[in-house]
Structure 1
Amino acid sequence: MKRSTCNICHFSIKTCVCDYVCPKLQNKTKIIVLQHPSEVSVAKNTVRLLKLQLANIEVFQGESPEDFLAAQEIARISNCALLYPDQNADTVETINRHQQTIEYLFVLDGTWKKTHKIAMLNPWLTRLKKISFSSIPENKYTIRKAEQLHSLSTLEACAYFLSHYESLPVGSLYDLLAGMIHEQTKFMPEDVKQRYLSE
């Protein structure tokens, strides 16, 4: 039987996060998410949270260049950057937004293996300026196993970028993530919950 879903947040009724949603953050840099199709149905995917909390975001789902034709058009006509680890990337902690304008930030959403596949299948992404982090904040996304030691969820990566590049107060994003974690774990047996939260 199909789960009942909240019409507002689109999480299941049992794990609805509407109580944790605040007025949307007015981010100036538009976040463009290229989301792997396998992430769309994942209950704990944080892109759903970003869509609830950010005013300026657009999500494209797919894998191949043909899936991202509209995104490619944005990349051709605007000041864009790709949030992706690269030895030649500029670090968000050191870039000067008054000298280096980023109108659109492209972010890949999926497991590390899936996002790497999107990057390899879409050579047009290599033409974008790369943005990375010089120091990685602590991963607060405790209910989904990270494939890399210093991996962040898509929400955490976007929050960290916006807090540095726009000096945007992003506490509401982290509060929404914490609310989702609470809702996802509240029905778990206590021993299972502690195993998730202590990893």
Structure 2
Amino acid sequence: MKRSTCNICHFSIKTCVCHYVSPVINNKTTLIVLQHPSEVSVAKNTVRLLNLQLDNIQAYEGEHPSDFLTPQKIASSSHCALLFPGENAIPIENIDKNVNPIDALFVLDGTWKKVNKIAMLNPWLNDLQKVSFSQLPENKYSIRKAEQSYSLSTLEACAHFLSCYESLNVKPLHDLLTGMIHEQTKFMPADVKQRYLNEEH
């Protein structure tokens, strides 16, 4: 099994994305991804892509507070925010990073059901200021069905945050996502591939 997996990108050798990776993006805000265990082995999970393309990112796998001891320490010692929609969420576009900078952004990775479970099991996340987007970009993650009309893949959400908050050029992230989609669909029958790529979200 290990021999068929790329040692760098950790995708299958047949769907390796290494040649799509651009020079690393130097983001100042630390992105802290809390990833549900069911996502780790998913071939199409985009956290792998973020790890390849971003300089400042940490990913932790788990569900319970005991799985996230290090993130909890970071949350208590730095000015952090949680990317999560809700009535009390502040639009990223309205935050002045020069006045109240976000040192670390927490992002939950998984299906909406799994993400909500992580949020429910970790009440310490409620102490973080929730942030969201006033306008969402189009979801380009065509190979995984969006559960909500406002759903973005974790990569797309992080890219949009870095674009809005740090004014970074996040095209390399979108190019990497496009490359991964190409690799994941290239062996599909033409009719199945077309259905995936034309699927509306």
TM-score tier (shorter): over 0.9
Question: Match for residue 189 of structure 1?
Answer: 189
Runs of at least 4 residues off by over 4 Å = none
Question: Match for residue 120 of structure 2?
Answer: 120
Measure how far apart 1:62 and its partner are. Answer: 0.3
Letter in 1 for 2:51: K
What pairs with 1:15-54 in structure 2 (closer than 5 Å)? Answer: 15-54=15-54
Letter in 2 for 1:146: A
Alignment check: 8 A CA contact 1:17 1:176 kept? yes
Percent identity (aligned): 72
What pairs with 1:124-139 in structure 2 (closer than 5 Å)? Answer: 124-139=124-139
For structure 1, the residue ranges without an aligned partner over 5 or more in a row are none
Q: Deviations over 1:69-94 (max 9, x none)?
A: 11100000001000001111110112
Q: Deviations over 1:8-52 (max 9, x none)?
A: 111000000001001100000000000000000000000000000
Q: Secondary structure at the match of 1:93?
A: helix
Question: Match for residue 160 of structure 1?
Answer: 160
Question: Match for residue 99 of structure 1?
Answer: 99
Measure how far apart 1:190 and its partner are. Answer: 0.6
How far apart in 2 are the matches of 1:10 and 1:40?
Answer: 11
Question: Match for residue 56 of structure 2?
Answer: 56
1:78 and 2:78 matched: yes
Q: Secondary structure at the match of 1:152?
A: coil
Q: Deviations over 1:118-138 (max 9, x none)?
A: 000000000001110111110
Measure how far apart 1:192 and its partner are. Answer: 0.4
Measure how far apart 1:3 and its partner are. Answer: 6.8
Question: Match for residue 65 of structure 1?
Answer: 65
Question: Match for residue 110 of structure 1?
Answer: 110
Letter in 2 for 1:30: T
Question: Match for residue 171 of structure 2?
Answer: 171
Alignment check: 8 A CA contact 1:3 1:12 kept? no
Q: Secondary structure at the match of 1:160?
A: helix
